[in-house]
Amino acid sequence: MAEVKTLTHEEDILIEETGYDDHFHDHHHGDKYQSGFISNYIFSMDHKMIARQFLITGIFWAFIGAAMSIIFRLQLGFPESDFQWLKPILGKWIVVENGVGTLAPEFYYALVTMHGTILVFFVLTAGLSGTFSNLLIPLQLGARDMASPFLNMLSYWFFFLAGVVMFYSLFISTGPFSGGWTAYPPLSALPQASTGSGTGMTLWIVSLVLFVVSVLLGGINYVTTVLNLRTKGMTLWRMPLTIWAFFVTAILGILSFPVLASGFFMLTFDRALGTSFFLSEIFIEGQALERIGGSPVLYQHLFWFLGHPEVYIIILPAMGLVSEVLSVHARKPIFGYKAMVLSILAIGFLSFIVWAHHMFMSGVNPFISNFFVVFTLIIAVPSAVKVFNWITTIYGGNLRLNTPMLFAIGFVSMFISGGLTGIFLGNSAIDIQLHDTYFVVAHFHIVMGIAAFFGMFAGIYHWYPRMFGRFMNETLGKIHFWGTLVGAYAIFWPMHYIGMAGVPRRYYSFDTFDAFKHFGEMNQFITVAAIIVFALQVLFIVNFFYSIFKGKVQTTRNPWGATTLEWSSPIGGVHGNWEGKIPTVHRWAYDYNKDDREFVPQYIPMEEGEVAGEDVHV
């Protein structure tokens, strides 16, 4: 019972001619599948809606996580000031003495811990790869939806639940977990070890186990969809780099998150059932515990076996988005497509054999450290290949310097600055001085935190019309970009210096350390910069939500003149992504400025005698 539709859009007509019929709309009569508010907006199984759910939840958490960092930055920048004005929000965690309100030290640690956990897992994992894998995998591959829309929906709701549990833990009387985002034992293994180690830690584990389930459900779906549901003609070597990045990201998640889960199970046994996997010879308040025989370093191995791939789970999607945005707005094919794919694969592989570079100072055997030093430094090679190719892609291009493009270029800048400091840290000898100092904080915030955010912003500004049928405001976007670029460097550059001087991270106050006292002014400067950057992100959030309702309306399907399939589907999106047939693919994703044609979408058949772009550009 296929409905007879008169097709008016150029894209639809072309797809009707060259696409193929999977009888999709025969099975679905009208919009029965998508009726009602609840199935449409809440328990939706449509990948485009799930993508928006991930994004908006991610923005919520980004706001909370960033606000926390402002509070602990206030303590670091202005340790002597009166913070009574924060009492309405923080309640008993502001301790008033002699009329001066100070942040309770336990809560400072809790804030640092929550900031890390939230940003790494909820924002840069779920909010980034959750959003864009969902949005782009089916659309760019020419699939009707994910392999299992149901599991896909579950993936979001497990993430949501993880968030509810974590959010709840912020309000309990002993406060949330406070032992750092890496949750090292013994602080995480003994409920009596610190205030946050009790209920706070229990909730932290519960939340993260739910989160692992979410990542696995999502990842299994992404991998299956990429390998099984590509449209005709979409060979692996014609997939856009975004898809390659999401694909490898999902594989990393599937292989590394279960290892974290195992670590959590052992931790739970230690906490609740009295085992001593990670505990040995501990004294609490002068009392020796009976728990002997375990090893806290074992936990570190399990954690970082996830932890290092995790940082690539965060950065690879950003790299994919940036590659795409750079190519579209430079109006040039991506430089070295195959090299890009191979370096994604190489990074993915290497990320599994470098984890101990986080443990050079944990007492691991120095000979074993050497092995990890070598592999860590080798990661710089595929990373450098990517950087080189991005720069070459924009070199000599006809650049459109709009907001997505600016953020994509900003990403490259951040990735270079932060990647370089990684090479210092990767040398175990230099790491003796730098480990656990602000140098490390600067390294990973620039290379992961800011860079991944830039990739995400590039993605949001670029695909905003695909998600909401409108554009975000350009002027606000440019203010957002320039302010954040300058501000982020202002925050993190000085931290390298502080770190080289040996100032340790995660300290509440430096009053008692003569060597570190004189960085007070620099800390003030950093805090002020952080506040300004935070304000700019609020501006972004305002722009984001305002534009959903009032942004400039998208009038053509393919506003950027891009080649990938998502821009051939109707504005606003339909269930099943294409009205009639599914487009088939005839060329790679980067036919820009080819034989006098400005761009050639992937669903346009090859002309007689035309040489395939992928043969010309590799």
Partner 1 sequence: MADIALNNTNQSTRRIHPQVFALWVSFGSILMMFIALTSAYIVKQAAGNWLEFLIPVEFYFSTGIILLSSLTLHVSYSSFKNGNEAPYKLLLILSLILGSIFLVMQFRGWFTLFEGGIDLKGNPSGSFFYLITILHAAHIVGGIGAMIVAVLHAFTLKFKPTERRRIRFSLVLQYWHFVDILWIFLFAFLLFI
| Shortest Cβ 143–partner 1 spacing (Å) | 6
Of these, 145, 324, 566, 591, which contacts partner 1 (CB under 8 A)?
Answer: 145
- Tell me 41's DSSP state: I
| Shortest Cβ 320–ligand HEM spacing (Å) | 13
Is residue 511 helix, strand or coil? coil
232: partner contacted, choices ligand HEM, Cu ion, partner 1, none (Cβ within 5-8 A by kind): partner 1
In 51-167, the DSSP E strands lie at: 94-97, 100-103
Show the binding pattern over residues 259-298: x = contacts Cu ion (CB under 5 A), - = does not. Answer: ----------------------------------------
Q: Which is nearer to partner 1, 268 or 427 (CB)?
A: 268
Q: Determine, following the binding rule CB under 6 A, whether residue 315 of this chain makes contact with ligand HEM.
A: yes
Of these, 127, 200, 296, 422, which contacts ligand HEM (CB under 6 A)?
Answer: 422
The encoded tokens of residue 507 equal 């300290």
Stretch that binds partner 1, among 257-265, 401-409, 415-423, 480-488 (CB under 8 A): 257-265
The CA distances from residue 107 to 72, 164, 179, 397, in Å, are 9, 20, 11, 50
| Short-list 316, 444, 426, CA closest to 382 | 316
Which residue in the block uniquely carries the two structure tokens 């210096």?
Answer: 497
| CA 555 – CA 534 distance, rounded (Å) | 33
User: Considering just the CA atoms, what is the radius of gyration of the chain in Å?
Assistant: 25
51: partner contacted, choices ligand HEM, Cu ion, partner 1, none (Cβ within 5-8 A by kind): none
| Shortest Cβ 353–partner 1 spacing (Å) | 13
214: partner contacted, choices ligand HEM, partner 1, Cu ion, none (Cβ within 5-8 A by kind): none
Stretch that binds partner 1, among 262-270, 467-475, 560-568, 597-605 (CB under 8 A): 262-270
Is residue 287 helix, strand or coil? strand
| Short-list 295, 302, 271, CA closest to 193 | 271
The encoded tokens of residue 118 equal 């939230």
480: partner contacted, choices partner 1, ligand HEM, Cu ion, none (Cβ within 5-8 A by kind): none
Q: Determine, following the binding rule CB under 5 A, whether residue 445 of this chain makes contact with Cu ion.
A: no
Is residue 74 helix, strand or coil? helix
DSSP labels, 300-344 = HHHHHHHHHHHHHHHHHHHHHHHHHHHHHHHTSPPTTHHHHHHHH
Q: Determine, following the binding rule CB under 8 A, whether residue 532 of this chain makes contact with partner 1.
A: no
Residue 290 sits at φ, ψ, to 5 deg, of: -80, -10
| Shortest Cβ 113–Cu ion spacing (Å) | 19
| Short-list 508, 603, 477, CA closest to 77 | 508
The residues near 409 (Cβ < 8 Å, ≥ 6 apart) are 326, 394
Of these, 137, 266, 491, 536, which contacts partner 1 (CB under 8 A)?
Answer: 266
| CA 58 – CA 479 distance, rounded (Å) | 22
- Tell me 566's DSSP state: G
Encode 246-259: b = buried (16+ Cβ within 10 Å), e = exposed: bbbbbbbbbebbeb
Q: CA 33, 36, 39, 41 torsion: positive or negative?
A: positive
| Shortest Cβ 218–ligand HEM spacing (Å) | 19
Which residue in the block uniquely carries the two structure tokens 């949330």?
Answer: 176
| CA 218 – CA 538 distance, rounded (Å) | 29
For residues 538 and 517, is the Cβ–Cβ distance under 8 A? Answer: no
Of these, 40, 148, 392, 509, which contacts partner 1 (CB under 8 A)?
Answer: 148
Of these, 230, 271, 291, 308, which contacts Cu ion (CB under 5 A)?
Answer: 308
| Shortest Cβ 357–Cu ion spacing (Å) | 5
For residues 543 and 82, is the Cβ–Cβ distance under 8 A? Answer: no
| Short-list 137, 139, 203, CA closest to 165 | 203
Q: Determine, following the binding rule CB under 6 A, whether residue 431 of this chain makes contact with ligand HEM.
A: yes
For residues 343 and 419, is the Cβ–Cβ distance under 8 A? Answer: no
Q: Determine, following the binding rule CB under 8 A, whether residue 580 of this chain makes contact with partner 1.
A: no
| CA 244 – CA 340 distance, rounded (Å) | 9
Stretch that binds ligand HEM, among 170-178, 392-400, 443-451, 548-556 (CB under 6 A): 443-451
Q: Determine, following the binding rule CB under 6 A, whether residue 440 of this chain makes contact with ligand HEM.
A: yes
Show the binding pattern over residues 146-185: x = contacts ligand HEM (CB under 6 A), - = does not. Answer: ------------------------------------x---
Which residue in the block uniquely carries the two structure tokens 């051939």?
Answer: 568
The residues near 410 (Cβ < 8 Å, ≥ 6 apart) are 454, 481, 484, 485
24-83: contacts with partner 1 (CB under 8 A)? 24, 27-28, 33, 45
Show the binding pattern over residues 365-404: x = contacts ligand HEM (CB under 6 A), - = does not. Answer: -----------x--xx--x---------------------
| Shortest Cβ 448–ligand HEM spacing (Å) | 3
Residue 395 sits at φ, ψ, to 5 deg, of: -60, 125
Show the binding pattern over residues 285-314: x = contacts partner 1 (CB under 8 A), - = does not. Answer: --------xxx--x--xx--x---------
Stretch that binds Cu ion, among 243-251, 306-314, 332-340, 379-387 (CB under 5 A): 306-314
Q: Which is nearer to partner 1, 148 or 427 (CB)?
A: 148
168: partner contacted, choices ligand HEM, Cu ion, partner 1, none (Cβ within 5-8 A by kind): none
Amino acid 85 reads W
Residues of this chain that interact with partner 1 (CB under 8 A) are: 22-24, 27-28, 33, 45, 143-151, 216, 219-221, 223-225, 227-234, 254-259, 261-263, 265-266, 269, 273-277, 293-295, 298, 301-302, 305
Residues of this chain that interact with ligand HEM (CB under 6 A) are: 182, 311, 314-315, 357-358, 376, 379-380, 383, 419, 422-423, 425-426, 431, 434-435, 440, 443-444, 447-448
Residues of this chain that interact with Cu ion (CB under 5 A) are: 308
